[in-house]
Protein backbone atom coordinates (compact mmCIF):
# COMPACT_ATOMS: atom_id res chain seq x y z
CA UNK A 1 0.00 0.00 0.00
CA UNK A 2 1.30 3.46 -0.91
CA UNK A 3 0.76 6.84 0.70
CA UNK A 4 -0.22 9.39 -1.90
CA UNK A 5 -2.20 12.56 -2.50
CA UNK A 6 -2.80 11.61 -6.14
CA UNK A 7 -6.42 11.79 -7.22
CA UNK A 8 -7.94 8.64 -8.78
CA UNK A 9 -6.92 8.04 -12.38
CA UNK A 10 -9.32 6.13 -14.66
CA UNK A 11 -8.22 2.76 -16.01
CA UNK A 12 -9.74 2.04 -19.41
CA UNK A 13 -9.85 -1.35 -21.08
CA UNK A 14 -9.23 -1.30 -24.84
CA UNK A 15 -9.26 -3.89 -27.60
CA UNK A 16 -6.20 -2.63 -29.47
CA UNK A 17 -3.61 -5.11 -30.70
CA UNK A 18 -0.94 -2.50 -31.46
CA UNK A 19 0.07 -1.98 -27.81
CA UNK A 20 -0.45 -3.65 -24.44
CA UNK A 21 -1.26 -0.33 -22.78
CA UNK A 22 -0.74 3.40 -22.58
CA UNK A 23 -0.41 6.06 -19.92
CA UNK A 24 -1.93 9.27 -21.18
CA UNK A 25 -1.29 12.70 -19.68
CA UNK A 26 -1.48 16.37 -20.54
CA UNK A 27 1.49 18.31 -19.16
CA UNK A 28 1.66 17.32 -15.50
CA UNK A 29 -1.88 15.95 -15.30
CA UNK A 30 -2.76 12.29 -15.81
CA UNK A 31 -5.68 11.55 -18.13
CA UNK A 32 -5.94 7.77 -17.87
CA UNK A 33 -4.23 4.40 -18.00
CA UNK A 34 -5.26 2.16 -20.88
CA UNK A 35 -4.80 -1.59 -21.02
CA UNK A 36 -5.61 -3.83 -23.96
CA UNK A 37 -7.47 -7.00 -23.14
CA UNK A 38 -6.36 -8.42 -26.50
CA UNK A 39 -2.62 -7.90 -26.05
CA UNK A 40 -1.92 -11.18 -24.27
CA UNK A 41 -0.02 -9.18 -21.62
CA UNK A 42 -2.78 -7.64 -19.50
CA UNK A 43 -1.10 -7.96 -16.09
CA UNK A 44 2.36 -6.76 -17.07
CA UNK A 45 0.85 -4.15 -19.42
CA UNK A 46 -1.18 -2.63 -16.59
CA UNK A 47 1.78 -2.66 -14.19
CA UNK A 48 4.02 -1.08 -16.84
CA UNK A 49 1.59 1.80 -17.37
CA UNK A 50 1.09 2.20 -13.61
CA UNK A 51 4.86 2.62 -13.30
CA UNK A 52 4.73 5.41 -15.90
CA UNK A 53 2.00 7.14 -13.88
CA UNK A 54 4.09 7.01 -10.69
CA UNK A 55 7.25 8.12 -12.51
CA UNK A 56 5.50 11.06 -14.19
CA UNK A 57 3.73 12.19 -11.02
CA UNK A 58 6.92 12.18 -8.95
CA UNK A 59 8.69 14.55 -11.34
CA UNK A 60 7.90 16.06 -14.71
CA UNK A 61 9.87 18.84 -16.37
CA UNK A 62 7.75 20.38 -19.12
CA UNK A 63 10.72 21.72 -21.07
CA UNK A 64 12.90 18.61 -21.13
CA UNK A 65 9.99 16.14 -20.67
CA UNK A 66 12.17 14.28 -18.17
CA UNK A 67 10.50 12.15 -15.49
CA UNK A 68 11.66 11.09 -12.02
CA UNK A 69 13.31 7.84 -13.11
CA UNK A 70 15.93 9.81 -15.07
CA UNK A 71 16.83 12.48 -12.51
CA UNK A 72 15.35 12.02 -9.04
CA UNK A 73 17.99 11.18 -6.40
CA UNK A 74 15.79 8.42 -4.91
CA UNK A 75 16.15 6.53 -8.20
CA UNK A 76 19.97 6.83 -8.42
CA UNK A 77 20.80 3.39 -6.92
CA UNK A 78 18.11 1.83 -9.11
CA UNK A 79 19.57 3.55 -12.20
CA UNK A 80 23.01 2.13 -11.32
CA UNK A 81 21.61 -1.39 -10.85
CA UNK A 82 19.51 -1.20 -14.02
CA UNK A 83 22.54 -0.03 -16.02
CA UNK A 84 24.18 -3.38 -15.25
CA UNK A 85 21.33 -5.31 -16.89
CA UNK A 86 21.99 -6.43 -20.42
CA UNK A 87 19.94 -4.70 -23.10
CA UNK A 88 16.92 -6.58 -24.38
CA UNK A 89 16.51 -7.20 -28.14
CA UNK A 90 13.67 -4.89 -29.19
CA UNK A 91 12.89 -4.97 -32.91
CA UNK A 92 12.91 -1.79 -34.96
CA UNK A 93 15.13 1.09 -35.85
CA UNK A 94 17.46 3.18 -33.74
CA UNK A 95 14.71 5.59 -32.58
CA UNK A 96 12.61 2.68 -31.25
CA UNK A 97 15.63 1.12 -29.53
CA UNK A 98 16.55 4.44 -27.87
CA UNK A 99 12.98 4.76 -26.64
CA UNK A 100 13.03 1.30 -25.06
CA UNK A 101 16.39 2.04 -23.43
CA UNK A 102 15.22 5.35 -21.91
CA UNK A 103 15.08 5.60 -18.12
CA UNK A 104 11.29 5.82 -18.06
CA UNK A 105 10.84 2.69 -20.17
CA UNK A 106 13.44 0.69 -18.25
CA UNK A 107 11.84 1.85 -14.98
CA UNK A 108 8.37 0.75 -16.15
CA UNK A 109 9.65 -2.68 -17.17
CA UNK A 110 11.61 -3.08 -13.92
CA UNK A 111 8.63 -2.03 -11.80
CA UNK A 112 6.27 -4.41 -13.59
CA UNK A 113 8.69 -7.33 -13.30
CA UNK A 114 9.32 -6.58 -9.62
CA UNK A 115 5.61 -6.64 -8.82
CA UNK A 116 5.17 -9.95 -10.66
CA UNK A 117 8.25 -11.37 -8.94
CA UNK A 118 7.26 -10.28 -5.43
CA UNK A 119 3.61 -11.19 -5.79
CA UNK A 120 2.14 -14.03 -3.78
CA UNK A 121 -0.34 -14.55 -6.60
CA UNK A 122 0.28 -17.81 -8.53
CA UNK A 123 -1.26 -16.38 -11.71
CA UNK A 124 1.14 -13.42 -11.71
CA UNK A 125 4.14 -15.60 -10.89
CA UNK A 126 3.19 -17.98 -13.72
CA UNK A 127 2.86 -15.00 -16.05
CA UNK A 128 6.40 -13.91 -15.22
CA UNK A 129 7.75 -17.44 -15.67
CA UNK A 130 5.98 -17.69 -19.05
CA UNK A 131 7.41 -14.37 -20.23
CA UNK A 132 10.91 -15.33 -19.10
CA UNK A 133 10.55 -18.76 -20.74
CA UNK A 134 9.61 -17.07 -24.03
CA UNK A 135 12.58 -14.67 -23.68
CA UNK A 136 10.14 -11.75 -23.89
CA UNK A 137 12.09 -8.48 -24.27
CA UNK A 138 9.88 -6.81 -21.64
CA UNK A 139 11.50 -8.89 -18.86
CA UNK A 140 14.96 -10.00 -17.82
CA UNK A 141 16.09 -13.49 -16.78
CA UNK A 142 15.48 -14.24 -13.09
CA UNK A 143 19.14 -14.81 -12.24
CA UNK A 144 20.20 -11.26 -13.18
CA UNK A 145 17.12 -9.34 -12.08
CA UNK A 146 17.04 -9.81 -8.28
CA UNK A 147 19.40 -6.90 -7.41
CA UNK A 148 17.31 -4.59 -9.57
CA UNK A 149 14.05 -5.74 -7.95
CA UNK A 150 15.51 -4.86 -4.57
CA UNK A 151 16.40 -1.37 -5.81
CA UNK A 152 12.88 -0.88 -7.20
CA UNK A 153 11.48 -1.61 -3.74
CA UNK A 154 14.00 0.72 -2.12
CA UNK A 155 12.97 3.60 -4.40
CA UNK A 156 9.55 3.61 -2.75
CA UNK A 157 11.11 3.36 0.69
CA UNK A 158 13.49 6.29 0.01
CA UNK A 159 10.56 8.36 -1.25
CA UNK A 160 8.60 7.65 1.93
CA UNK A 161 5.71 6.24 -0.09
CA UNK A 162 5.32 2.96 1.76
CA UNK A 163 2.89 2.53 4.63
CA UNK A 164 3.80 -1.03 5.34
CA UNK A 165 7.14 -2.63 6.05
CA UNK A 166 8.39 -4.04 2.77
CA UNK A 167 9.58 -7.63 2.72
CA UNK A 168 12.84 -6.60 1.07
CA UNK A 169 15.24 -9.42 0.38
CA UNK A 170 18.76 -8.92 1.66
pLDDT of 166 strictly over 60? no
Residue 54's φ and ψ, nearest 5 degrees, are: -60, -50
C-alpha 157/C-alpha 74 separation (Å) is 9
Per-residue pLDDT tens digits for 72-114? 999 999 999 999 998 887 877 888 888 889 999 999 999 999 9
Is the pLDDT reported for residue 169 higher than 70?
no
Give the model confidence (pLDDT) of 9-37 as tens digits.
Answer: 999 999 988 888 999 999 889 999 999 99
Give the pLDDT score at 18. Answer: 81
The answer to the question of residue 4 being in a domain is: no
Q: Radius of gyration of the chain from Cα atoms?
A: 15
pLDDT greater at residue 147 or residue 8: 147
* Residue 32 falls inside a structural domain: yes
How many separate domains does the chain show? 1
The answer as to whether 165 is a domain residue is: no
Query: How many Å apart are CA 4 and CA 23, to the nearest integer?
Result: 18
Distance CA 160, CA 41 (A): 30
Report whether 46 contacts 35 (CB < 8 A).
Answer: yes
Q: Is residue 74 part of a domain?
A: yes
Write down the mean pLDDT value for the chain: 90
Residue ranges making up the domain that contains 104: 11-158
In a domain? residue 170: no
For residue 30, give the DSSP letter.
E
* Residue 52 belongs to a domain: yes
Amino acid sequence: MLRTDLQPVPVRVTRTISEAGAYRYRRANPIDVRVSKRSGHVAIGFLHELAHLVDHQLHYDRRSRVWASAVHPAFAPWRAAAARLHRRPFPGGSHRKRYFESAQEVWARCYAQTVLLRSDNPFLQEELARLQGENEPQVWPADVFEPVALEVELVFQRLGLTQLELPIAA
